[in-house]
Structure 1
Amino acid sequence: MVPPFVKQTWVVLGVLLNMLGQGMVLSYTACLLPSLQAPDSDIKINIHTASWIASCIGIAGFGGFFVSSLLMDTLGRKKAHAIVIIPGIIGWMLIYFARDVTTIVIGRLLGGFAASATVCLGAVVIGEYTSPSNRGMFLNLKTTAVCLGNMVIHVFGHFYHWRTIALIGIVPHAVAFGIIMTWPESPSWLASKNQFEQSEKSFEWLRGTSDKSRKELDELLHAQKGRLEEKPKTPSLRRNVEEFFQKFTRRDFLKPLIIVIFSAMLLENCGRHIFPAYALQIISEVTGSKSNSFYYTLAIDIIITTSAFFSSVLVKLMKRRTLLLGTGFAAYAVLMTVCLYLFVAAKGVISPDRTWIPISIFVLYFILANLGCTPIPLALLGEVFPLPHRGAGSLAAGFIMSIMLLFPLQITPYLLESIKVYGTFFFFGSLMGISLLVLYFILPETKDRTLQEIEDYFNNGRFKEEDNDEVNEKMIKK
């Protein structure tokens, strides 16, 4: 008999391959733009065109998040995940055959659609399919997969033509599609659709029949049966629209949404997508040489991927808040240090020849950032929204994350040209610091909590044992 952990790992592998593909989409401009800007390129671009090629995936994100949130609620997690992969495969094919900028942009838009559609959807799948003890590790591995995708692009971009790399980009999506076809449907989604018998079978296939798993299943079914009793049997379109907008007045929707807003702000402004997209340009400016920029970039990629993987181990040992805030504030301090160093070097106060110093500080920064600032915000997408709000929450989160992605990718080329690397990272670092400060006050601890416990927290403002502790304390005083 196959152990539940192996089955959960198989399910997560499909998500991780999509995340690998997402990393390739995000980093593709690192090899594409320099090639198109080369004098011998058959497709000519300028800096304005380059910024749109890089940032258009943020625009596609609006559609990706909207469609995935709609599909995950209506068709289920499995079918939704399979459907949204297809545009990504088509996008890579269009880029391979492209003969003009328009075709490349369309291909990037389709790739961005698939990448954004699987961000929240992948987090929801991992959150619903895996046990609480494994959920944090699996959610953090999403970031590791994206970092690995970044590295794959930077390595292949050094040796292969950008059209060849577009063909390679199809592989992760195609393999993931095959794995997804073997999944059962999500137990949570089945329960929300009044399919309790199928939900129980799916849950037992994924989690086994231990007492702990049985208790979690009973809590899930009990909560959904109570909720379904309160809903009208055949809600009208008007009622559905009213319910959607009413969510924005509910505590258990608004508080998770605020957490997601500042988590997304932290994720994007810590350089999560900026550095992979413009890695060669950033490293070239810091070192003053283009000849060795590939090797510096590769070394940083390896370190980032390793630290992201190590974060998946740490999240099993440490609390989420401790890991995020501890490494986050440390990363912020290191980033401000490297910005100050590059600034005084640019002004001639110190010698700019010791390029190993800023590179080393950047390495330390990316290690710290990838331990908490990049994986935990993505992990929270699969944890914080209660089941009734998961589709609408994914839609709202997607809209926010698309804006957060579009903004930095769009302005980074202009910032690098006008205020250089030190000014660019100081600007984004300041926003990163604000995000960390807000999360310090509003982020609850979700380690080893079931999704139902987290849902109850956002409804009641506290976890159950906190209520019990308060009651016990009052009884002792009496």
Structure 2
Amino acid sequence: MDRSFFKQTWIVAGVLLTMLEVGMFLGFTTSLLPALTDPASPVRASLEQSSWIAASFSLAWIPGFLSSSYYMDRFGRKAAFILDVIPGALGLVLMYFSTNVFCLLAARVLEGITAGSTSILGAIIIGEYTSPANRGMFLNLKTAALYLGSMIVHLLGYYFHWRTIAVMTLIPAVVAFGMICTWPESPSWLASKKRFDDSARVFYSLRGKNELANIELKDLIRTQKERPKSMELTFLYRSLLFFRKFSRRDFVMPVINYLFAAILLETTGRHIFPAYAVQIISEVSGDHDSFYYTLALDILVTVSATFSSILIRLVKRRTLLFLTGSVAVLVLMSACCDLFLASNGIIPNIPWIPMSLFAVYFAIVNFACAPIPLALIGEIFPLEHRAAGTTIAGILIALTSIATLKMTPLLMATVKVYGTFFILDIIMAISLVFLYFLLPETKDRTLQEIEYFYNHGRFRDVTQDDKEAESTMIQLPRIEITKEVLA
């Protein structure tokens, strides 16, 4: 096996283990919330309190995004990821010792901080550490790892108490922490800090020494050499610079893209299903002992997301997104119509029909509509705006997730599952239409090429633009690409 690919895989494995833990956080409420309504439980919660326990997890993403954005820019990607995994581990310990609703809320907030910060930063790390050929596959595996974590916690919830599950969830967190400590620093971050020799050394260790790697490294260093060195600035001036970004095309366009990507992500049911899987499947199937239905759907979703990671290496992102998205919208619409007609006695109630349609829907939607919006975080924001851009993207995800998680219990109580998913389906279709006109194709493109697109509205013509770049090059530390660096 190529050593550079092994190094990329090792780094990605640390991110994936963290995403496994985040998936377990997401699915934890399926074990926790029903237990809190049990009269024999030492900790009890009302319906309103239960909804806040579920929604507080997403609400905590916002401070997670903000802190992670600061850490990743100030201390580097590795140190930021280490700091980001700690609150979740503390939350699990607090969860185990919780004796009241307030402690549970605090534990979910700590877990939410880790979930939000690592989900965003994990995409950035995969984007910066891995090659364009592998980037799409690795980014999609984040979603597969998250669903695997959700499936594991649903399975554990059938056999173990939620306190025991909290202890088990610590295992991937501890292993991931150990792996992260072995990472090198991101070559992109090193270049942004004008540490070009260090950047080249790490870059070549991760990508190998070949013509494509040389071109990408030169492109990275060229863009960073042309930018002024950052200075120690006051908070007020930093805030001013942040708001001035909204006048920059290469910041505004990715943010607009991600607004609709975040809406698409949430309306697929990505966070709703892990949190309310038992309630949703109980209503659709008519079987209150829905464990095996839930497990089967978990397996299907996890396999689908994993297969998508392979498929995305072969098919263009846009083709995969809009083809599977269109089919998913039609399938979900069919499932909602069947449930509506059956509930009103217009057609016979045959549970396996809507269950099959929901299974097909979740399989299809996880080919692209769920993983690609998350993958975009690691691709579309230029290095200059990456910290601010990912903060905005994270806040958009948090707000849409809070809205869906908080409203889902109310919607299911009033318009049932079919009404809830019908509303989500319409919004998902609208998001796909906007993305069709806004989203560029990022497959096999370097991060510098994608950055050029958002600056100029087109991808670079290599035969012409590279000649211009060569003629105006600012003493590229061709790192010279010197013998010392290549050694």
Q: Distance in 1 between matches of 2:45 and 2:233?
A: 52
One-letter code aligned to 1:404: T
**Counterpart in 2 of 1:114?**
114
Shift of 1:398: 1.2
For 1:215-254, what aligned pairs fall within 5 Å after superposition?
215-228=215-228, 231=229, 235-254=233-252
Shift of 1:45: 1.4
2:346 to 346, 349, 358: 349
Is 1:448 matched with 2:459? Answer: no
**Counterpart in 2 of 1:316?**
313
**1:413-444 deviations in Å (ceiling 9; x for gaps):** 11111111000101111111111111011000
**Counterpart in 2 of 1:409?**
405
Tell me the number of residue pairs that the alignment of Structure 1 and Structure 2 aligns: 466
**Counterpart in 2 of 1:78?**
78
1:255 to 230, 253, 256: 253
Shift of 1:239: 3.6
Equivalent pair of 1:47/1:413 in contact (CA under 8 Å): no
For 1:67-466, what aligned pairs fall within 5 Å after superposition?
67-228=67-228, 231=229, 235-291=233-289, 293-352=290-349, 354-465=350-461
One-letter code aligned to 2:408: T
Shift of 1:399: 1.2
Equivalent pair of 1:95/1:107 in contact (CA under 8 Å): yes
Equivalent pair of 1:263/1:439 in contact (CA under 8 Å): yes
**1:87-144 deviations in Å (ceiling 9; x for gaps):** 0000011111111111011000000000000111000000000000000000000000
Shift of 1:244: 1.1
Q: Distance in 2 between matches of 1:115 and 1:148?
A: 15
Q: Distance in 2 between matches of 1:135 and 1:402?
A: 24
Is 1:23 matched with 2:23? Answer: yes
Aligned-pair Cα RMSD in Å:
1.5
Shift of 1:242: 2.2
Q: Distance in 1 between matches of 2:156 and 2:194?
A: 48
Q: Distance in 2 between matches of 1:15 and 1:234?
A: 31
SS at match of 1:316: coil
Shift of 1:236: 4.9
One-letter code aligned to 1:364: V
Cα 1:420–1:466 shift into 2, 3 Å: farther
**Counterpart in 1 of 2:59?**
59
Q: Distance in 1 between matches of 2:332 and 2:463?
A: 41
**1:182-218 deviations in Å (ceiling 9; x for gaps):** 0000000000001111111111111111111111111
Q: Distance in 2 between matches of 1:441 and 1:426?
A: 24
One-letter code aligned to 2:331: V
Q: Which runs of 4+ in 1 moved over 6 A?
A: none
**Counterpart in 2 of 1:472?**
none
**1:378-419 deviations in Å (ceiling 9; x for gaps):** 000000000000000011111111101100000111111111
Equivalent pair of 1:303/1:367 in contact (CA under 8 Å): yes
One-letter code aligned to 1:315: I
**Counterpart in 2 of 1:473?**
none
Shift of 1:234: 5.3
Shift of 1:325: 0.8
One-letter code aligned to 2:29: T
Equivalent pair of 1:58/1:112 in contact (CA under 8 Å): yes
TM norm structure 2: 0.94
Q: Distance in 1 between matches of 2:432 and 2:221?
A: 36
Shift of 1:468: 5.4
Cα 1:41–1:445 shift into 2, 3 Å: same
Q: Distance in 1 between matches of 2:184 and 2:373?
A: 27
Cα 1:226–1:94 shift into 2, 3 Å: same
**1:28-55 deviations in Å (ceiling 9; x for gaps):** 1011111111232111112111111111
Cα 1:224–1:340 shift into 2, 3 Å: same
**Counterpart in 2 of 1:7?**
7
One-letter code aligned to 2:167: L
Cα 1:232–1:145 shift into 2, 3 Å: closer
One-letter code aligned to 1:444: P
Identify the range of structure 1 (103-112 vs 210-219) with the bigger mean alpha-carbon deviation.
Answer: 210-219
Q: Distance in 1 between matches of 2:388 and 2:50?
A: 33
Equivalent pair of 1:150/1:301 in contact (CA under 8 Å): yes
One-letter code aligned to 1:361: L
**Counterpart in 2 of 1:48?**
48
Q: Distance in 1 between matches of 2:113 and 2:232?
A: 32
Shift of 1:465: 2.6
Gaps of 5+ in 2: 466-487
TM norm structure 1: 0.95
Q: Distance in 1 between matches of 2:460 and 2:273?
A: 42
Shift of 1:237: 4.5
One-letter code aligned to 1:96: Y
Shift of 1:235: 4.7
Cα 1:387–1:38 shift into 2, 3 Å: same
Equivalent pair of 1:252/1:455 in contact (CA under 8 Å): yes
Q: Distance in 2 between matches of 1:46 and 1:372?
A: 37
Equivalent pair of 1:14/1:180 in contact (CA under 8 Å): yes
Q: Distance in 1 between matches of 2:364 and 2:407?
A: 25
Shift of 1:83: 0.5
**1:219-255 deviations in Å (ceiling 9; x for gaps):** 1111101113xx5655554443222111111100011
One-letter code aligned to 2:249: R
Q: Distance in 2 between matches of 1:166 and 1:234?
A: 42
One-letter code aligned to 2:113: F
Q: Distance in 2 between matches of 1:389 and 1:318?
A: 29
